[in-house]
């Protein structure tokens, strides 16, 4: 590099570098700075300061130009992001537009991204269920992917650690396959949700409706108030950013906490081009970034590097970090980098009506709903497909208006209306099996605006997914029917992988460096001062929403990194 000025090198040298400021990068930043490490946090997008940079957060519907609708000038050039449920006139500024960072869809893949400080932690659905050993032991028991190098006991204390700080609402349900955690009071289930839960308890072994655990401050503790956050106000406008800090995001929680330590340097507008590997030292010495405003290439140095660019982009950074030592991508001695990418199957839904409990309803709003933990193939293999699915389950009523005709009768119909019967709805959250053929790779020719190769994404459903989807519809139809629900309407869609926004893998953890990229501490097997703790590290996907596990793995790895630094091992 041209810049050999010693002072300049010093100014660009830190104890640690964190690539990415989303849900896992924020945790890496908090843990490393909290342990006294001078930490550079690199973010490819702009800064988003808590509250100050939530421009729509307190707007009423009529204060939006199109009352919340997106104009064709936004939706037509951006078909991918427009398919995301949270993409609206109130939240569009937090999403990457299709043409801002193109990729090659070898097979259809809806890659939903948030390039800003906080990443997608501003936009997530805030569901936080723990994994159990039924999940960590899955690949070994069922013979797919590779064995996880960790078990529940390894991560359990770290689940507790992150739950206490993030603030997770939930009930102690005592279900072995969905372990209890450190909960704030859970949001209660409504009457029809309770009714269905009782029905399952009476008629099935091992099927439960619980209040879905979620990262909302139902009753903040002192640690949350110290973060400047306060109780969730049940606005249900989370995708705008929450002025109360009612839900967990990097912006509301970990990033300002890291900032407060005085040890964090946050550098937005910094696309990481590659990780720098020093052949003589046998370790990574820093990263090379492109400043997105000046297009200047700059190197930063540190003793340890955390890669938290979000699953697919972490694969991109690693694949693009080539050296004599790693000609096929960083740490890729095994050749599995970019492979065994998996996701969650969200392509089935079922709705129905219930004629009972007419005298009860709800008042106010809940930030979460009901959740049916996985009940298929938990204790033993019992179906013609591997693994299983969790189900969202919610009941609701609404005021039925009349839209007929014109004039004063119509005006009346828009104001008045009787309450509907209870409606219930469920969606499938299916585990998918990581396969070598589901992979991402660098395009040989095409590059992005920063000179980084575009990614080819080749990820698809398989026969196991189809069988599981069929089973979901069959089982839920049967459960709904026996519960006395009427007008049962199952539906399936063909949404592309990616729209679940649970893409995982590509740099999986494993015991054997010959078949995995990362060890049990999320360290690159072949370069121990590089840690990957976002979705890219996932060996299998289970069916729980993954963010809580990323947080716990990150906190665990960061504290291990600090110990190893103290011992002089990295």
- The answer to whether 416 and 70 are in contact (CB under 8 A) is no
Q: Which of 26, 34, 88, 167 binds other proteins (CB under 8 A)?
A: 88
Binding of other proteins at residue 168 (CB under 8 A)? Answer: no
Q: What pairing do the DSSP bridges indicate for beta strands 348-354 and 344-345?
A: unpaired
Cα 457 to Cα 392: distance, rounded to the nearest angstrom: 28
CB count in 10 Å sphere of residue 568: 6
Binding of other proteins at residue 419 (CB under 8 A)? Answer: yes
Binding of other proteins at residue 125 (CB under 8 A)? Answer: no
Cα 531 to Cα 424: distance, rounded to the nearest angstrom: 43
Nearest alpha-carbon partner for 267 in 78, 41, 96? 41
Binding of other proteins at residue 355 (CB under 8 A)? Answer: no
CB of 68 to other proteins, least distance (A): 6
Q: At 137, list the tokens.
A: 């032991």
CB count in 10 Å sphere of residue 221: 13
CB of 338 to other proteins, least distance (A): 35
Q: Which of 185, 414, 451, 486 binds other proteins (CB under 8 A)?
A: 414
Region binding other proteins by CB under 8 A among candidate stretches 14-22, 26-34, 291-299, 355-363: 355-363
Region binding other proteins by CB under 8 A among candidate stretches 260-268, 404-412, 525-533, 547-555: 404-412
Query: How many residues lie near other proteins (CB under 8 A)?
Result: 57
Q: 235 to 294, contacts with other proteins by CB under 8 A?
A: 235, 237
Region binding other proteins by CB under 8 A among candidate stretches 110-118, 151-159, 398-406, 501-509: 398-406
- Which of helix, strand or coil describes residue 538? coil
Strand partners, 406: none
Residue positions counted in the chain: 570
From residue 188 to residue 207, the character string flagging contacts with other proteins as x (rule: CB under 8 A) and all else as - is xxxx----------------
- The answer to whether 345 and 471 are in contact (CB under 8 A) is no
Q: Which of 328, 400, 493, 569 binds other proteins (CB under 8 A)?
A: 400
The H-or-E segment that residue 241 falls in is none
Binding of other proteins at residue 225 (CB under 8 A)? Answer: no
- The answer to whether 16 and 32 are in contact (CB under 8 A) is yes
CB count in 10 Å sphere of residue 511: 16
Q: What pairing do the DSSP bridges indicate for beta strands 344-345 and 422-431?
A: antiparallel
Q: Which of 143, 262, 327, 364 binds other proteins (CB under 8 A)?
A: 364
User: For other proteins, which is the closer residue by CB, 95 or 134?
Assistant: 95
CB of 233 to other proteins, least distance (A): 5
Burial of 153 per CB tally in 10 Å (0-12, 13-18, 19+): exposed
Binding of other proteins at residue 361 (CB under 8 A)? Answer: yes
CB of 487 to other proteins, least distance (A): 10
Q: Which of 6, 72, 281, 444 binds other proteins (CB under 8 A)?
A: 72
Interface positions with other proteins (CB under 8 A): 58, 60-62, 65-73, 76, 85, 88, 187-191, 231, 233-235, 237, 358-366, 396, 398-400, 402-408, 410-411, 413-420, 423
């Amino acid at each position: 590099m041209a810049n050999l000025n010693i002072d300049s090198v010093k100014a660009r040298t830190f104890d640690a570098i964190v690539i990415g400021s989303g849900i896992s990068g924020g945790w890496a930043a908090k843990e490393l700075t909290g342990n006294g490490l001078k930490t550079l946090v690199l973010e490819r997008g702009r800064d988003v300061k808590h509250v100050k940079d939530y421009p729509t957060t307190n707007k009423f519907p009529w204060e939006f130009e199109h009352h919340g609708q997106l104009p064709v000038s936004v939706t037509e050039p951006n078909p991918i992001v427009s398919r995301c449920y949270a993409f609206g006139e109130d939240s569009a500024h937090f999403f990457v537009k299709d043409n801002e960072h193109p990729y090659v869809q070898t097979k259809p893949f809806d890659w939903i991204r948030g390039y800003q400080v906080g990443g997608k932690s501003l936009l997530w659905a805030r569901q936080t269920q723990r994994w159990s050993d039924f999940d960590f032991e899955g690949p070994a028991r069922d013979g797919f992917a590779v064995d996880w190098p960790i078990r529940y006991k390894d991560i359990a204390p770290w689940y507790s650690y992150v739950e206490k700080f993030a603030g997770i609402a939930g009930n102690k349900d005592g279900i072995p396959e969905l372990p209890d955690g450190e909960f704030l009071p859970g949001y209660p289930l409504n009457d029809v949700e309770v009714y269905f839960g009782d029905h399952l308890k009476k008629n099935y072994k091992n099927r439960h409706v619980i209040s879905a655990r979620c990262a909302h401050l139902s009753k903040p503790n002192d640690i949350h108030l110290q973060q400047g956050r306060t109780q969730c106000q049940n606005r249900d406008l989370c995708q705008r950013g929450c002025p109360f800090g009612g839900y967990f995001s990097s912006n509301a929680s970990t990033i300002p906490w890291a900032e407060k330590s005085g040890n964090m340097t946050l550098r937005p507008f910094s696309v990481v081009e590659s990780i720098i590997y020093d052949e003589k030292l046998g370790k990574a010495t820093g990263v090379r970034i492109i400043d997105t405003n000046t297009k200047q290439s700059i190197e930063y140095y540190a003793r340890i590097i955390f890669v938290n660019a979000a699953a697919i982009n972490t694969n991109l950074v690693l694949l693009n970090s080539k050296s004599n030592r790693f000609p096929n991508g960083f740490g890729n001695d095994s050749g599995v980098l970019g492979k065994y990418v998996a996701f969650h199957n969200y392509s089935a839904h079922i709705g129905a009506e219930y004629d009972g409990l007419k005298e009860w309803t709800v008042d106010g709003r809940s930030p979460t709903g009901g959740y049916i933990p996985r009940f298929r193939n938990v204790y033993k293999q019992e179906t013609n497909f591997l693994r299983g699915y969790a189900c969202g389950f919610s009941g609701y009523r609404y005021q039925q208006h009349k839209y007929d005709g014109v004039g004063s009768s119509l005006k009346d119909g828009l104001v008045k209306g009787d309450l509907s019967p209870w409606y219930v709805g469920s969606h499938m959250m299916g585990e998918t099996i990581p396969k070598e053929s589901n992979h991402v790779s660098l395009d040989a020719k095409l590059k992005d605006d920063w000179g980084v190769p575009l990614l080819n994404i080749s990820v698809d459903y398989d026969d196991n997914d189809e069988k599981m989807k069929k089973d979901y519809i069959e089982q839920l139809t049967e459960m709904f029917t026996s519960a006395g629900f009427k007008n049962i309407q199952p539906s399936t869609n063909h949404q592309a992988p990616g729209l679940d926004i649970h893409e995982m893998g590509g740099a999986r953890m494993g015991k054997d460096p010959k078949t995995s990229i990362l060890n049990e501490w999320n360290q690159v097997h072949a370069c121990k001062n590089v840690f990957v703790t976002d979705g890219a590290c996932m060996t299998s996907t289970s069916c729980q929403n993954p963010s809580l596990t990323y947080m716990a793995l990150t906190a665990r790895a960061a504290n291990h990194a600090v110990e190893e630094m103290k011992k002089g091992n990295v």
